[in-house]
Amino acid sequence: MVNTKKVCDLCGLPVEVPGFTLKTKEGDKAFCCEGCKGIYQLLNEDQLLPDSNED
Ligand SMILES: [Zn+2]
């Protein structure tokens, strides 16, 4: 069985809802929820690429 589903880049749970993503120097990251996305942002501020849709 091949599981191609994305997993959260913070906690490793399956990403059921698309949209919690960040662009970083290492590529696009996906998260399972807003909370995980927020924590990743705090921990990896220097890795984040600017998002033209925010700020
Ligand atoms: Zn998560």
In terms of Cα–Cα distance, which of 39, 18, 35 is closest to 7? Answer: 18
Which pTM does this prediction carry? 0.79
What pLDDT is recorded for position 50? 82
Domain 1-47 is in which class?
Answer: mainly beta
- Distance (Å) from CA 55 to ligand 1 centroid: 24
Q: In the chain, where are the structural domains located?
A: 1-47
**Span 37-51, pLDDT tens digits:** 999 999 999 999 986
- Distance (Å) from CA 42 to ligand 1 centroid: 14
**Span 5-49, pLDDT tens digits:** 899 999 999 999 889 999 999 999 999 999 999 999 999 999 999
What pLDDT is recorded for position 41? 96
- Distance (Å) from CA 16 to ligand 1 centroid: 10
